[in-house]
Amino acid sequence: MIYLALSHAGKVTLTTILIVLAALFVIWLTVGFVFFFIGLGSKRREDETVPGKGSLFERNKDNINLINGYKWYDNTYKQKVTIPGSQGKTLHAMEFRNPSNSNNWAIVIHGWTNCKREMSSYAMEYYRRGFNVLIPDLHGHGDSESKYVSMGWLDRLDIADWTRSLVKENPKVKIVLHGVSMGAATTMMTTGEDLPKNVICAIEDCGFTSVYDIFTDQCIRTYHVPPKIIMPAANIANRILNGFSFKKASAVEQLKKSKTPTLFMHGDKDDFVLFENLDKVYNACAAPKEKYVVHGAEHAVSSHWFHEEYWHRVDQFLAEYFDEIKA
């Protein structure tokens, strides 16, 4: 009788332990999915003229360079364009054809939670220099047919598709990629692909080293949760919904394969994508490279706060690869 009672008690205890462990696993996985949706859920906005709450565009709404960019964007002829993407979805972008009939193209790549219109000041500067401009919608943003944000990793294949489309239309095109923040990570990741020789240079502004690194950093500094617990669960969600691992999505590893001359830019007061990312991506790049520190600039505002300095440096870089640029 005593043996039976102990045996029964042991079974009850084991069952309880298994139930508790199962419950903890479900909670852990649920937290991972929540973190995934916070970071990588759709960032589309119904009205792109209204900046995201708390975004740098809202905080800098009185900046004259942003205002001028918006005015130019709203009043310059443009058209929405689409191409079939190699990942099975139709790709969407805004295109500005320059009346100069130039062969020069700038593909301007937006950041996390941003939209085409919010890259207007960059597009305007290239357009003034005689470039045609393309502003693609990245995954989970704007008109993209992808539900989830990929932080540049899947976007790199889309940008490569856009370059091939431009070359197919006109084999004489010369292309610069210019991305900011997540768009900068996209730019760096793209340069690690087998690109047409028409992609002659790239500019990355305040990009991060990898998706794993940026989310690990945000776990610690923004959400104050232990990344060693949260990241594996979030990575499971990402594998299921996005089809790749955070660690695989590395700008550093892509740059090791790059053949595209690249200008690396970063504000030294950046407290979102920390300034230390600059040397890590710069040192990893196997292609010809240049580096420029924008002193006093916070995250993704170098062009807005230090406009003349920023574009003077960009012009110096572009002049090495493009002829007949209008200053």
On the question of pLDDT at 11 being above 70, the answer is no
Distance between CA atoms of residues 211 and 37, nearest Å: 15
Tell me how long the chain is.
327
Task: Look up the pTM and report it.
Answer: 0.93
Longest dimension (CA), the chain: 97
Whole-number Å distance between alpha carbons of 31 and 34:
5
CA dist list (Å): 270 to 107, 215, 216, 277? 24, 16, 17, 10
Determine the residue type at 287: A
Which string of DSSP letters, residue by residue, matches 61-123?
TT-HHHHHHHHHHHHS--EEEEEE-TTSSEEEEEEE--TT--SEEEEEE--TT--SGGGHHHH
* Element holding 234 (H helix, E strand): helix 227-241
- Order of all β-strands in the sheet with 132-136: 79-84, 90-96, 132-136, 104-109, 174-180, 199-205, 262-267, 289-294
d(CA 28, CA 37): 15
**C-beta atoms surrounding 227 within 10 Å:** 17
**Cβ-contact 190, 159 below 8 angstroms:** yes
Cα(293)–Cα(195) distance, integer angstroms: 27
Tens of pLDDT along 22-68? 999 999 999 999 999 999 999 998 888 888 888 889 999 999 999 99
**The predicted structure's pLDDT at residue 52:** 85
Give the rounded percent of residues in the chain with a pLDDT score beyond 90: 87
* 134: three-class secondary structure by DSSP: strand
CATH of domain 49-209+249-318: 3.40.50.1820
| 301-306: average pLDDT | 97
DSSP state string for 246-284: TTT-BHHHHHTT--S-EEEEEETT-TTTTTTHHHHHHHH
Reading the block at residue 303, the tokens are 């062009």
> Which pair of tokens denotes residue 30?
């649920």
Chain mean pLDDT for the chain = 94
For residue 1, what pLDDT band results from cuts at 50, 70 and 90? very low
Note whether 185 and 106 are within 8 A (CB).
Answer: no
d(CA 43, CA 64): 26
Place of tokens 């939670």: 113
148 pLDDT above the threshold of 50: yes
pLDDT tens, 55-79?
Answer: 889 999 999 999 999 999 999 999 9
Work out the pLDDT band at 8, boundaries 50, 70, 90: low
What residue ranges do the domains of the chain occupy? 1-40+211-245, 49-209+249-318
Residue 155, C-beta contacts closer than 8 angstroms, at least 6 positions apart:
109, 136, 138, 139, 186, 189, 190
The SS3 call for residue 288 is: coil
Is residue 299 very low, low, confident or very high in pLDDT (cuts 50, 70, 90)?
very high
Reply yes or no on whether the pLDDT at 5 is more than 50: no
R_g over Cα of the chain: 23
